[in-house]
Structure 1
């Protein structure tokens, strides 16, 4: 018997859940408050020809995306062209710049040139990272994490030591490399996992493999092409998308969701999957029906928020790569401003994406599309005047790096996005941009549960639950939750007959 399922939000986890739930034969409706799919991965265009991806820009772990499409007898190439970036990115230091080559062989040579013996050490590091990636992304992250017994298997138990679950990432990296630039290069990917490398499990060296070894890619037309491709897959399975539809209340009775109020209209569903912000979703329930209290959320460690600028530049900027990381200042000082003092950084690090270096469709001819991002503490004040101070700081450093002193005077489009915007647009708790930190105390079973403990047909998916933040984990999260819902619907049907 076909069951009617509501999915709240059309971020990556929501679209993924929609596709898998619909494939199982359910009637699936996706409700999105904005006028397009994607959540944080929305896209917008300007009247003068710029096309901006609003969020994700690093296409790492391409096999995870490919696996999603393969589950529906499709390929990424059915929807967009993937380009391998060379260099993958450039990292700017005070004394010198490091470009990360596309070829692993060239990457080894780079490491060796910076530290004798580091090439062989990179092999050892990546061999271990490959193992973590294969076990972690195939076995570890696919669990619904109801309890620890899910991880009691010969394969996982036999791999426990090699997964380095109890080692911290900084100490782990230091065992392989002494050069401070190489250490920073290896540590940077975990910054967006939500804590200092000192507090992130060494398991997450799998990200180095998923990025540096598997390559850094770009979908022509922008990251939103992945959103559109996944949406098309979900629609082909029978899912229906409803835009400009906001969930206002979740009605419950006798331990079940009975109906939802959406845009003032009451609608009845057999099950609900919330891809919306977990904390916000629970505020739509009476307090006694929530999984977690306000105190619980206040005690969690959240991944950063960020200051973003979308800039249209009426000139070409030489000496700027598709991805550039400006790390001239101390990494730990910036990290402490995010997780320690929770303030605007005094000497910030930041990231620039210039997709127009690869894709001529995202900017007018002889112009550049720039996306500037600076990680920030959650919950801080972000008035426009403060944003502008940091924009000037970032642009000055870009001008110094590129030798172009007139970038500021050639800005023809500018839009900022920060903590308060994440709260307004996504109901993001304290304006977080990347969900919960992947610290050891917030990993696997210790993350917020994917199922409401008091309401049998309410589920949660996305970056605030398992497996964690990032595009690939969010896609996996949708699959995990859809499987749980499909099993519930099957059990309900079997009891009925």
Structure 2
């Protein structure tokens, strides 16, 4: 039976869900509050520079391929991928960095040079990580988080102990060199929690890193947004921007539409890909799944301070992706999760897309963005932003041994207040809710409202969790739940 479906937001999960629902034959319209689509994965251009505003790591290419395969398409039908080599570089000090190459054999050689015996240990570690990846990404994450029984399979039963140890513990049992440990702990930061709080099973992220490699869509991550948008339009989805949702209409405990810019828009089903907490504020309290106390008790992934920067020259001694771990990793993590505050000495990440994509900056110039992870809900001010930009640029100059500050011709910052204003993000979080043991699968906020019929949710605060690949999967899961409800 054909239904009219109103989708709030146009991030990856909402776009993915729209495709699946349109394929099922429904009349689907996306309503986006901002001028452009993509949610956190928006793009902006200024003075010949092009910037992806959010996600910049293209990992788990098989998940993207599986998404397009569901429509008898391929990623290559919509965008071109480039495998990065090196995938990224990690800086620990002046003339002290480690490059991670695009194949496991070279990575093993790198490890072995730093710590004798670590090459074989890495091989064993990645073999286990691949086993977990095959279980998790090819199976478990495609389950809707309705029941704890979803996690009980013959394969997961054999790995039960990995849910009660942590990624950090397991890595430190095998490796001694602190630099190698930090490189192996880094990928789980995408899950939004400290390695010491993330179950060992999530080491599948190391296989995503070392086994599958780091890719880059030819002209940026927005290529993926455009690709999914094109697919959605081909399937008949309607997309409307500048549509601020003010209320979800509920009649007799059933969602019947949304109010946009003061005007009611009626539909059979409402699906929100917007921030889950914000979506529930569009409902009367009696119709909300979760209380404010519940949200306060959750472990949220970090917010971020971002700087989008245009340089009037080529920047040397830097790769497309670079991590700056020249300060205390554990102290910065504590400043995010244990006693939230602005870190005295922040780790940071730099992304130079123009190293791969010549359209990202004018000839002879460089586009970059810098990211500092921060605690959600933290104070945000222009003075603090400038103070921290100065901190990281000073270190950047020292570690890459060059002067760059006087070559900046464009700069834009984006921090907690912007995440709140632009995305209605709870406490200004950047990545959603962390994947800790008690916030995994069926323990995450539900895809389907428990109190309002025909109201559904998708995205990084629900199942399966933070990140672009999980967002695509979330869109598929919620579309399947909707179709199941319609068919029953």
Corresponding residue for 2:104?
104
Question: What is the aligned partner in structure 2 of residue 149 from structure 1?
Answer: 149
**Alpha carbons 2:103, 2:210 under 8 Å: kept:** no
Q: RMSD of the TM alignment (CA)?
A: 1.1
After TM superposition, list the pairs within 5 Å mapping 1:205-216 onto structure 2.
205-216=203-214
Equivalent residue for 2:418, pick from 421, 432, 445: 421
Does the aligned pair in 1 maintain the 2:334–2:340 contact within 8 Å?
yes
Distance 2:139 2:174 in 1: 26
Q: Deviations over 1:313-364 (max 9, x none)?
A: 0011111110110100010000010011111000110000000111100100
Give yes or no for contact 1:8–1:247 (8 Å, CA) kept in 2: yes
- Structure 2 CA distance for aligned equivalents of residues 120 and 107 of structure 1: 11
Unaligned runs of 5+ in 2: none
Q: How far did residue 155 of structure 1 move? A: 4.2
2:241 pairs with 1:232? no
Q: CA deviation at 1:399?
A: 1.1
Offset at residue 461 of structure 1 (A): 0.5
Is contact 2:9–2:33 with CA below 8 Å preserved after alignment?
A: yes
Aligned counterpart, 2:167: 169
Scaled by the length of structure 1, what TM-score is found?
Answer: 0.96
Residues 91 and 324 in structure 2, CA contact (< 8 A), matched pair in contact too: yes
> Counterpart in 2 of 1:351?
349
Q: Post-superposition shift, 1:203?
A: 1.3
Offset at residue 254 of structure 1 (A):
1.9
Q: Residues 228-267 of structure 1 correspond to what in structure 2 (within 5 A)?
A: 228-267=226-265
What CA distance in whole angstroms lies between the structure 1 residues aligned with 2:338 and 2:190?
15
In the alignment, the residues of structure 2 paired with residue 256 and residue 462 of structure 1 have an alpha-carbon distance, to the nearest angstrom, of: 22
On the 8 A contact 1:311/1:414 being kept in 2, the answer is yes
Corresponding position: 1:476 with 2:473: yes
Shift of 1:194: 2.1
Supply the distance in 2 between the matched residues of 1:154 and 1:346 (Cα, whole angstroms): 47
CA contact (8 A) 2:6 2:257 kept: no
1:84-118 CA deviation, whole Å, 9 max, x = no partner?
11100000003611000112111110111111111
Distance 2:201 2:136 in 1: 8
1:278 maps to 276
Superposition deviation, residue 403 in structure 1: 2.0
Please give the alpha-carbon distance, in whole angstroms, between the structure 2 residues aligned to 1:153 and 1:261: 43
Contact 1:317-1:402 at 8 Å conserved across structures? no
Distance 2:66 2:146 in 1: 24
1:142-177 per-position Cα deviation (integer Å, ceiling 9, x unaligned): 1111111233444443x4337x11111110111221
Checking the alignment, whether the CA contact within 8 Å between 2:304 and 2:372 is kept in structure 1 is yes
CA distance in 1, matches of 2:267, 2:357: 43
Q: Is the 8 A contact 2:7 2:271 kept in 1?
A: yes
Instruction: Give the Å deviation of 1:231.
Output: 1.0
What CA distance in whole angstroms lies between the structure 2 residues aligned with 1:225 and 1:252? Answer: 37
Q: Identify which of 440, 446, 450 aligns with 2:447.
A: 450
Match of residue 367 from structure 1 = 365
Residue pair 2:140, 2:150 contacting (<8 A) in 1 also: no
* Contact kept in structure 2, 1:192 and 1:304, CA below 8 Å: no
Residues 409-435 of structure 1: per-residue CA shift (max 9 Å, x gap): 111110000000000000000000000
| 2:114 aligned with 1:114 | yes
Supply the distance in 2 between the matched residues of 1:328 and 1:225 (Cα, whole angstroms). 33
Contact 2:92 2:324 in 1 (8 A): yes
Aligned residues: 487
Partner of 1:56: 55
Shift >6 Å, 4+ stretches: none
Structure 1 unmatched ranges of 5 or more:
492-497
Distance of 1:318 and 1:409 partners within structure 2: 15
Q: CA deviation at 1:402?
A: 2.3
Which of 194, 197, 200 is 2:198 aligned to?
200
Match of 2:134 in 1: 134
In 2, Cα distance between equivalents of 1:170 and 1:103: 23
**Corresponding residue number in structure 1 for 2:26:** 26
User: Residues 173-196 of structure 1, C-alpha deviation per residue, up to 9 Å, x if partnerless?
Assistant: 112211111100000111232221
